[in-house]
Chains A and B, each alone.
Chain A
Amino acid sequence: MADVVAIGEEHAAGGLNIHPMDQFIIYPLFGDGGVGMFTVTNATLWMAIIVLCVVLLLITGMRGRNVVPSRAQSIAELAYGFVYKMIEDVSGKEGLRYFPYIMTLFMFITLANFLALIPASFSVTAHIAVTAVLALAVFVTVTVLGFVKNGASFLGLFWVSSAPLVLRPILAVIELISYFVRPVSHSIRLAGNIMAGHAVLKVFAGFAGALGLFAFIPVLAITAIYALEVLVAFIQAYVFTILTCVYLKDALHPHH
């Protein structure tokens, strides 16, 4: 990140120049010391805002418990039903025991992605540090759960019994590698998509500054990309959640 700061300052000296990666810089909110383990930063602030929004939507939104739902209540019911059906479809009935965890993940990531689209806000999920914690939590939970539920037969996940016997050791190695790459791809997919989207918006914003009279062309392009980013924000939250369901299904039913 120090490099990014240096590049940003370098560019700022030359007039209106937007560096696409400047928006991801983490800085302390109070004072101007370094960022330590417990420093309150802009990332902390935005994560608190996200949690607050989830609580507002799900708890105060559902307070009325009306038969004809209010707007907030219908959104909360929609989200609940969406996640419930996703778990039921992908991981089966037993997966529903882990509904609270997956619902928490879904609401946090969706709200983080949507709030990051507000201009001048901060995209928490664009940081691999954040998504890696989420993905590692899923990975550890699912692995421990698999061993608790199935004992040693959880290792049957790597022993593809439908393949010819000669191929099975080779497939076991491949399956093992792909199992351990899961948290990597799980976290980088979310962070990479959000980071790339926001960086593209800033790159086009830079074009608008450079083109002068023809600035309306990149502004139109930004509008279109912004609409795409709204879609991507939801799809990436959905993909993260549904992959969690797939991993959960593997833990509950490890046999191929």
Chain B
Amino acid sequence: MEGEIIAYADLGKFIGAGLAAIGSGAAAIGVGHVAGNFLAGALRNPSAAAAQTATLFIGIAFAEALGIFSFLVALLLMFAV
């Protein structure tokens, strides 16, 4: 009985880690959106593009941060809980 409960807890951990990994995919969509829109704008006005690369990286960093959070949740579930 007790072993069964522990096995179910492990099962829940792995399912939770897999679900948390979906967040990485969502972050990938966000980063692609930022980069794609930057490219679309940069091709319309290439002379203004160079000044905006810093903004591009800040935008990517913010979009990516939440994906990293979900990755961290997955890692915590796998190794720490």
Contacts and interface: CB of A to CB of B under 8 A. Distances in A.
A192 B54 contact: no
Residue among B54, B57, B64, B80 with most chain A CB within 10 A: B54
A193 B60 CA distance: 13
A4 B79 contact: yes
Say what secondary structure dominates the interface of chain A: helix
A1 B8 CA distance: 23
Contacts of A227: none
A243 B64 contact: no
A239 B61 CA distance: 7
Interface string B56-80: 0110110011001101100100011
B79 A21 contact: yes
A242 B52 CA distance: 13
A185 B63 CA distance: 11
A248 interface: no
Say what secondary structure dominates the interface of chain B: helix
Interface residues of B, number: 14
A238 B57 CA distance: 9
A188 B79 contact: no
Nearest to B60: A239
Nearest to A245: B54
Interface residues of A, number: 20
Contacts of A7: 79
Given A3-B79, A185-B65, A90 B71 contact: no
Nearest to B51: A89
Contact of B61 (A4, A89, A189, A196): A189
Contacts of A235: 57
Given A3-B80, A4-B79, A21-B79, A188 B57 contact: no
Contacts of B71: 192, 196
A84 B71 CA distance: 33
A196 B74 CA distance: 11
A7 B79 CA distance: 9
Interface string A1-39: 001100100000000000001000000000000000000
Interface in B23-72: 54, 57-58, 60-61, 64-65, 68-69, 71-72
26 contacts: A3-B80, A21-B79, A86-B54, A89-B54, A90-B54, A185-B65, A185-B68, A188-B65, A188-B72, A189-B61, A189-B64, A189-B68, A192-B71, A193-B64, A193-B68, A195-B75, A196-B68, A196-B71, A235-B57, A238-B57, A239-B57, A239-B60, A239-B61, A242-B54, A242-B58, A243-B61
Interface of B: 54, 57-58, 60-61, 64-65, 68-69, 71-72, 75, 79-80
8 A-B pairs closest in CB distance: A192-B68, A185-B65, A239-B61, A189-B65, A189-B68, A188-B68, A239-B57, A3-B79
Given A188-B72, A192-B68, 4 more contacts: A4-B79, A188-B68, A192-B71, A242-B58
